[in-house]
Amino acid sequence: LAKTTQPISMDSYEGQEVNITCSHNNIATNDYITWYQQFPSQGPRFIIQGYKTKVTNEVASLFIPADRKSSTLSLPRVSLSDTAVYYCLVGSSNTGKLIFGQGTTLQVKP
Amino acid sequence: EADIYQTPRYLVIGTGKKITLECSQTMGHDKMYWYQQDPGMELHLIHYSYGVNSTEKGDLSSESTVSRIRTEHFPLTLESARPSHTSQYLCASSELGTGGYTEAFFGQGTRLTVV
């Protein structure tokens, strides 16, 4: 399983765009990149997943460069309710395991 | 909302007691997982299952055991609880979505305190 590296914490203000980058230098050909969000005292929740280039849904965008050794989760116009821990995971459907790293704690300030 | 349930939500129990944390999902997912998470810390995978009668240890060593007799049910058991087992335990299941990705759904968790 590819190891991921993310910043431990980030601060932002309401209304700003937040970009969280994850490094995964050892990503394998079959691996997808998935991001989860976790609020205190709750289980993580799926945000977005991609394989290459750009993916966008109603919540976020995911940018993946051609070499796929990193990815960037983009949250447009964050609000206080976006304060949470964001996890980047790398793996394929064949591995079965879902291994979470330390995640990035995003603090959104008013 | 995902249909995965954990009971109890909170449990305070004395040292040496045997406990079972329940986890059930109604989505028909083959893969299920147990994670352990201390406050403010990362999730550690302690058990996972590919399907009925298939269980494996996760990356974090745990004294707990699991069973998977039915697809929908994945209970976790501690034979003799100790204060070091105090933590939050999260259960999850996953499906293979369109496009080949895996999306995991988590329960609300069980916060265990061993006194």
Q: How far is B17 from chain A (nearest CA, A)?
A: 25
Integer Cα distance of B83 and B90 in angstroms: 18
Average pLDDT, chain A: 91
Integer Cα distance of B77 and A38 in angstroms: 25
What percentage of chain A carries pLDDT values higher than 70?
A: 95
Integer Cα distance of A2 and A76 in angstroms: 28
- Nearest CB to A96 within list B31, B43, B106: B31
Yes or no: say if A18 and A9 are a contact pair by the CB < 8 Å rule: no
Integer Cα distance of B33 and B17 in angstroms: 24
Q: What is the pLDDT of residue B1?
A: 56
Chain A positions touching B109 (Cβ under 8 A) are 41-43
Integer Cα distance of A95 and A9 in angstroms: 29
Chain A positions touching B96 (Cβ under 8 A) are 93
Does residue B98 have a pLDDT over 80? no
Chain A positions touching B98 (Cβ under 8 A) are none
The more confident residue out of A80 and A91 is: A80
Convert the pLDDT of each residue in A22-68 to its tens digit. 999 998 888 889 999 999 888 999 999 999 989 999 999 999 999 99
The more confident residue out of A32 and B73 is: B73
- Count each helix (H run) and each strand (E run) in chain A, helices first: 0, 9
- Nearest CB to A99 within list B45, B88, B90: B45
Q: What is the pLDDT of residue A93?
A: 63
Does residue A2 have a pLDDT over 80? no
Q: Where are the beta strands (DSSP E) in A1-110?
A: 9-13, 18-23, 32-38, 45-50, 53-56, 61-64, 70-75, 84-91, 104-109
Q: What is the pLDDT of residue B47?
A: 95
